[in-house]
Amino acid sequence: MRKLEEFVSKERERFSIKDNNIFAFSFGKVTRRWMFLEIIRERYRGASAAFVANSEAMRATNKPGGPHLLTAEQLALQSEGVRLSMAVHLDIESFYLFAKIFLDDIARAIENYFGPARGLALDSHDDLEKRLERYADTKGLLIPNGLRETISDLRKRVADFRDQEIAHEKSPRTMRGLTWGPDGEASFISTRLYPKESDKQTNSESLDGLASAFEEYVSKVVDFLEENSSKARFEPAEEIQTS
């Protein structure tokens, strides 16, 4: 993200006062969403660690030999576990929701930088994936190696997951739980009550892993902008100074 901030800080000085600000504010949306994601990720780390510790403590109280009535300690741990579980679920789902908006903001900022193309609006990350090549051809832009593949990869990992598993998930048989590995980072699993052969278990990704993927993507986007900076649609500062 520092690479993006440095690009914006330097690039904006090429433009007239009005376009300088419009350009900076369009990419300001991207950095603002990124800060949201960082806040959510930090909050998640605490909730995840607390949930795993609670679960391990509950497991340590289990006695061999079959079911037993819950002790007062176990009831307290169970009650706290429910609250912690909801906090983890909230942070994971919030991360995906804002991650999709973050990706959409990048697509719109690209369109704002180079200008609109008839019938090729970049109003979302999905639009960017579908229309990048035609948009680039129309504008005479060079696409850096790996950018197309990264856009498609993040569409599957973020946009599709957000749509199918969070925002538009509608099966009445859906069950959600939490799991964690040796690293202690909790993720949610989605299964179906009364499963059918076509049902599949899905898992959310590591939030740190997604954040790293976003950093790499933003770096590629900056390369794309820098390589094609002569095609920016904004009015140069010199024209204002000499008028």
Q: What is the pLDDT of residues 108-122, one digit of tens each?
A: 999 999 999 999 999
Residue 202, beta-bridge partner list: 190
Sheet holding 186-192, edge to edge: 174-180, 186-192, 202-203
For the entire predicted model, the pTM comes to 0.91
List the one residue out of 93, 88, 103 whose CA is nearest residue 34: 103
Handedness of CA 134, 140, 26, 38 (dihedral sign): positive
Q: Is 90 exceeded by the pLDDT of residue 243?
A: no
CA distance 104 to 49: 31
Which of 19, 24, 89, 13 is closest to 51 using CA atoms?
89
CB 13 within 8 A of CB 229: no
Asked if residue 125 lies in contact with residue 110, where contact means CB atoms within 8 angstroms, the answer is: no
Whether residue 134 has pLDDT greater than 90: yes
So what's the pLDDT on residue 66? Answer: 67
Q: How far apart are CA 8 and CA 1, in angstroms?
A: 11
Average pLDDT (113-132) is 97
- Measured CA to CA, the distance from residue 229 to residue 215 in angstroms comes to 21
Confidence of residue 208 (pLDDT cuts 50, 70, 90): very high
Tell me the domain boundaries of the chain.
Answer: 2-171+207-242
How far is the C-alpha of 110 from the C-alpha of 18, rounded, in Å? 18
Asked if the model's pLDDT at residue 240 lies above 60, the reply is no
pLDDT (tens digit, 9 = 90+) per residue, 135-164?
999 999 999 999 999 999 999 999 999 999
Say yes or no to pLDDT of 18 above 60: yes
Q: Which helix (H) or strand (E) holds 177?
A: strand 174-180
* Of 145, 147, 139, 104, residue with least CA distance to 120: 139
d(Cα 210, Cα 216) in Å, to the nearest integer?
A: 10
Looking at residue 182, its pLDDT comes to 86
Q: Which residues contact 140 (CB under 8 A, 6 or more apart)?
A: 231
49-77, pLDDT tens digit by residue? 999 999 999 989 887 766 778 889 989 99
Predicted confidence band of residue 242 (pLDDT cuts 50, 70, 90):
very low
Q: Map residue 191 onto helix, strand or coil.
A: strand
Which value, to the nearest 10 degrees, does the dihedral of the CA atoms of residues 121, 123, 124, 128 take? 20
At the top level of CATH, which class does the domain 2-171+207-242 belong to? mainly alpha
Q: Which pLDDT does position 161 carry in this prediction?
A: 95
Can you tell me the distance from the alpha carbon of 91 to that of 178, in angstroms, rounded to the nearest whole number? 12
- 56 HSE (CA, 13 A, CB side): 11
